Chains A and B, each alone.
Chain A
Amino acid sequence: MSVDDRRRKAERIRHLLDTEGDSVHENTRVFNEGRYESVAKLDDYESLKDEARSIKEDAIERLPELLDRLTETIEANGGTVYVAEDAADANRYVSEVVDGRNVVKSKSMTTEEIEVNDALEASGAEVWETDLAEFVLQIAEEAPSHIVAPAIHKSREEIADLFNEVFDPDEPLETAEELTRFAREYLGERILDAEVGMTGANFVTADTGTLALVTSEGNARKCVQATNTHVAVAGVEKVVPRVEDLQPFVELIGRSGTGQDVTSYLSLLTPPGDSPTFGSGGGGGGGGSGGSDPLDGRELESGGDREFHLVLIDNGRMAMREDDDLRETLYCIRCSACANSCANFQHVGGHAFGGETYSGGIATGWEAGVHGQESAAEFNDLCTGCSRCVNGCPVKIDIPWINTVVRDRINRGTDGDLDFLVEGLTPDEEPGGIDLQKRLFGNFDALARLGSAFAPLSNRVARTDVARSVMERTLGVDARRELPAFERESLVEWFETRGSRVDPEEARRRVALYPDAYTNYVRTERGKAAVRVLESIDVHVDVPSAGESGRAPLSQGMVATARANAEAVYEALSPAVAAGRDVVVIEPSDLAMFHREYERLLPEDEYTALKEDSYEVMEYVYGLLENGASVDVLADGNGERIAYHSHCQQRTLDLEPYTLAVLEDCGFDVATSDVECCGMAGSFGYKSEYYELSVDVGGTLADQFTTDDAADRTVVASGTSCLEQLDALLARRPTHPVRLLDAR
């Protein structure tokens, strides 16, 4: 990316933060908190997710067969199925069916994907969106900013201004109630005038040809009920085998998305059905809204003759099915949990964190699959891999991994002109074309090694205005960020000189302390504290020289380099693992590599061995205390007031409670943050195009730690990135929790 591209991107993000950020933040936070509350009420949440996942796995595996079955069923019921190859094919078919008649639509992202409204209007049809948020966007001529609540970026005041300007009502509209009543009435007339009802479908059952529509307003019901032609548009991936398969999805979709246990209406339509229609619009169709009262003399008509067309959209999906990394995307039920749980999304919304149609974490998979990699490339970097979406996904899609793979593909698809400069100088496994900024951060290990070897000179040089300006222009490293200061003596070197202070024969346990790149070269103090704390509990510690875990290159989409790093780390740690020693990890993002991403980077047996024997340092201390070690050897907290921010990936692994328990055991008074992520996310906050977003996200955390209750508390965080962000945003200097336990 050029310096100008970075500047443009930063400007666009700044504009959205200013204009849409507040509304998006307020609404997504409500959804996200609602999700936590709603899923907590389910006794069988995990098994429901497993069930939903396996239904989708099976359905996508058997998709061709299920599509045949569905087609047979619907045709036997008297309907028509059309499988459209792409958007143009779908639009041509739908336009022919509609044939210039009036259309009322309920919300459907798939119709947004194919842009059917434009095609229908070009063919002479009048189209009205009846979902209230879609209606707002239709008259504002804007694109959805969220897949479930598409007008989430607009405040009530903005909607009122828009309505008052466009419709010029006798009394200006002001409250949400007035706006809703007005829209209901206005759209009610459009519904009575329409002859074609268009819906999406959340699920379609192959056995009975039943469409399941998840809604709250009742507009989808009306669109189908009032008209005599029903056109449903859905991606081919929406097919599930049987009606019974709907149950886990019905229980999960509302909870996962907007935090509702269930939405107001779950319509199960098996067309044609015998529910009556309003017949053809007021006095014979196609005439628009003018003329006589559309209600005059209209009777309910038999619904048995209702025409039904199911338009199933391929548009790249069958190819996604063949793609080992993108296939999971097809399991997505578009609940929006990955958007609502994402700190970046919460702050900037889908107009930045989205492509041509879809937004949020899973959008990278959708956009890459249906619109192409360029559309995904526009926003893919906004996924920092924090993994907060992972546990919230009702079909257990590894959304960060999809983002990583697509980033890797984007890296490889770019032609670079600096190959001569970087090939050979960097030790990675990547092709020449990759963005220099990504390559810099991806090779943090090499950088840190050099920085440490030449410290403190390297730190002084790097901090000069000239160096910062060059770094910003060539690498996009924002000059407003303080750079990490490298220590001359690495943790490994320190330990080699110092040696172990516990007799291995008398030790309670023997461990290998993993020296992640930050602890080894930058924050060596927390590494030393960890050694002393473990030794104080009679643990024999070794600090083997093991390289960077692969987290740094992985976050830049450099999968091959990450794999090479993972292999090297495993080789360095395998003697300890083979000898039955535990591996203790200080940096949560590296432990998360061992526990999550190594599954994709290492052979299964190596992944399992390392996963089973590796622990976060505070989790490990907790285990020792639980197994008889005395807390008295650790520093006495003596009621010291602490504000603790757990790390995003640490929370995804559910490791926050251990730190909390140990600190409280030691006598500290702990308050915790509840933000999803600090916003720093490794290199993200250093990048000049994202610096302001990073600070905006971090601001929410900083606010929580500057309340009356928290302002005097010692700030503690587990992740390096979180520590850097908090250091930048607060006047207090934050520290790692293990340093609080160090009685030295």
Chain B
Amino acid sequence: MSTEPLSTFESSLTEIGVELVRTSTEEFESTLAPLLDAPAVGTPLPFADVSLPADVETNPTVADLEAARTGVTAAGYGIADYGSVVVQGGPAGEEPVSLYADEHVAVVAASDVLPDMDAAFDRLAEDIRGGTGRAVIATGPSATADMGSLVTGAHGPMAVTVVLLEDA
């Protein structure tokens, strides 16, 4: 694929205060390690030859979720124009894991970064018709201005980091 959506993705993420970390399948674990603050929870990643470190709890209790500082999930795709990641919430718990921890680390394959909302909705429609019961287009951290000025981490994560698997 062309690199254009990727550079747009990166600049969109920068604009909304989200760090993009580029890595490869091979270097994934070493790239991820410094991004994890313990305790960390996660859901199994669907990318070939990529897995989570052992100290990431992938079968969390409610208490684990509440206590988690980092939550790692895959994102089905990214949307370059907006710096969004689409988190599909399945039985492994992507929805709660991406929602309760202080920081959400979303792992997305470069080949799944779509240029715009139009392309994203084509994919979403296909996935929803195929049975995806829950999809969240997440753009930046949870935020509110209801208390007089902008604060992140209203109910969801205070920060988001996107890890891009360049060779996936």
A156 touches B143 (CB 8 A): no
Contact of A217 among B95, B132, B156 (CB under 8 A): B156
Assembly CA distance A576 to B62 (angstroms)? 78
- The stretch from B25-33, B105-113, B144-152 touching chain A is B144-152
**B136 proximity list for chain A (CB < 8 A):** 221, 265-268
**A418 proximity list for chain B (CB < 8 A):** none
B155 touches A219 (CB 8 A): yes
A266 touches B121 (CB 8 A): no
A225 touches B95 (CB 8 A): yes
A177 touches B91 (CB 8 A): no
**B155 proximity list for chain A (CB < 8 A):** 130, 184, 187-188, 217-219, 221-222
Assembly CA distance A656 to B58 (angstroms)? 60
B61 touches A242 (CB 8 A): no
CB of B152, distance to nearest CB on chain A (Å): 9
A218 and B142 in contact, given A225-B99, A243-B128, A265-B137 (Cβ under 8 angstroms): yes
A132 and B144 in contact, given A267-B136, A302-B91 (Cβ under 8 angstroms): yes
Q: Does B78 contact A (CB under 8 A)?
A: no
Contact of B90 among A187, A251, A274 (CB under 8 A): A274
Assembly CA distance A276 to B91 (angstroms)? 6
**B151 proximity list for chain A (CB < 8 A):** 176-177, 180
Contact of B62 among A181, A272, A273, A299 (CB under 8 A): A299
Contact of A218 among B128, B132, B147, B154 (CB under 8 A): B154
Q: Does A458 contact B (CB under 8 A)?
A: no
B156 touches A264 (CB 8 A): yes
**Which residues of B in the span 120-168 have a Cβ within 8 Å of any Cβ on A?**
120-122, 124-125, 128-129, 132-151, 153-157
Assembly CA distance A207 to B124 (angstroms)? 13
Contact of A132 among B63, B82, B124, B147 (CB under 8 A): B147
Q: Does B103 contact A (CB under 8 A)?
A: no
CB closest chain-B residue, reference A295:
B63
**Which residues of A in the span 149-206 have a Cβ within 8 Å of any Cβ on B?**
149, 151, 155-157, 159, 176-177, 179-181, 183-184, 187-188, 192
Q: Does A271 contact B (CB under 8 A)?
A: yes
Interface residues in A, total, Cβ within 8 A: 65
Assembly CA distance A442 to B82 (angstroms)? 49
Contact of A155 among B94, B129, B148 (CB under 8 A): B148
**B49 proximity list for chain A (CB < 8 A):** none
Q: Does A633 contact B (CB under 8 A)?
A: no
* A27, A225, A302, most chain B CB atoms within 10 A: A225
Q: Does B37 contact A (CB under 8 A)?
A: no
A264 touches B143 (CB 8 A): yes
B91 touches A274 (CB 8 A): yes
Assembly CA distance A299 to B93 (angstroms)? 12
Assembly CA distance A242 to B89 (angstroms)? 21
A176 touches B134 (CB 8 A): no
CB closest chain-A residue, reference B137:
A266
A180 and B154 in contact, given A270-B128, A275-B89, A278-B62 (Cβ under 8 angstroms): yes
A247 touches B61 (CB 8 A): no
Q: Does B5 contact A (CB under 8 A)?
A: no
Assembly CA distance A578 to B93 (angstroms)? 71
A273 touches B138 (CB 8 A): no
A270 touches B154 (CB 8 A): no
Contact of A151 among B91, B117, B141, B146 (CB under 8 A): B146
A180 and B128 in contact, given A132-B146, A216-B142 (Cβ under 8 angstroms): no
A298 touches B91 (CB 8 A): no
Q: Does B115 contact A (CB under 8 A)?
A: no
Q: Does B96 contact A (CB under 8 A)?
A: yes
CB of A246, distance to nearest CB on chain B (Å): 6
**Which residues of A in the span 231-272 have a Cβ within 8 Å of any Cβ on B?**
242-244, 246-247, 250-251, 258, 261-272
CB of A657, distance to nearest CB on chain B (Å): 29
Q: Does A131 contact B (CB under 8 A)?
A: yes
A300 touches B148 (CB 8 A): no
Assembly CA distance A180 to B60 (angstroms)? 26
* A130, A265, A271, A299, most chain B CB atoms within 10 A: A265
Q: Does B66 contact A (CB under 8 A)?
A: yes
B124 touches A268 (CB 8 A): yes
CB closest chain-B residue, reference A192:
B62
B153 touches A180 (CB 8 A): yes
Assembly CA distance A629 to B143 (angstroms)? 56
**Which residues of B in the span 18-36 have a Cβ within 8 Å of any Cβ on A?**
none
Q: Does B70 contact A (CB under 8 A)?
A: no
**A243 proximity list for chain B (CB < 8 A):** 121, 124-125, 128-129
CB of B35, distance to nearest CB on chain A (Å): 20
CB of B13, distance to nearest CB on chain A (Å): 13
Contact of A275 among B90, B128, B146 (CB under 8 A): B90
B137 touches A273 (CB 8 A): no
Q: Does A71 contact B (CB under 8 A)?
A: no
B133 touches A269 (CB 8 A): yes
Assembly CA distance A261 to B139 (angstroms)? 10
CB of B125, distance to nearest CB on chain A (Å): 4
Contact mask A85-116 → B, CB, 8 Å, 1/0? 00000000000000000000000000000000
Contact of A295 among B62, B89, B90, B153 (CB under 8 A): B62
Contact of A265 among B60, B122, B138 (CB under 8 A): B138
A244 and B121 in contact, given A221-B99, A299-B62 (Cβ under 8 angstroms): yes
Assembly CA distance A246 to B125 (angstroms)? 10
A218 touches B156 (CB 8 A): yes
CB of B55, distance to nearest CB on chain A (Å): 19
Contact mask A466-507 → B, CB, 8 Å, 1/0? 000000000000000000000000000000000000000000
Q: Does A303 contact B (CB under 8 A)?
A: yes
Q: Does A357 contact B (CB under 8 A)?
A: no
CB closest chain-B residue, reference A258:
B145
* B63, B82, B94, B151, most chain A CB atoms within 10 A: B151
CB of B97, distance to nearest CB on chain A (Å): 10
**Which residues of A in the span 129-148 have a Cβ within 8 Å of any Cβ on B?**
130-133, 136
CB of B52, distance to nearest CB on chain A (Å): 17
Chain A residues with CB under 8 Å of chain B are 27, 130-133, 136, 149, 151, 155-157, 159, 176-177, 179-181, 183-184, 187-188, 192, 207-208, 210, 216-219, 221-222, 225, 242-244, 246-247, 250-251, 258, 261-276, 278, 295-300, 302-303
25 contacts between A and B (CB under 8 A): A131-B146, A133-B146, A156-B147, A179-B147, A179-B148, A184-B155, A216-B142, A216-B154, A221-B95, A221-B136, A221-B155, A222-B155, A225-B95, A243-B128, A262-B137, A264-B140, A264-B141, A264-B143, A265-B137, A265-B139, A268-B124, A275-B94, A276-B95, A295-B63, A296-B63
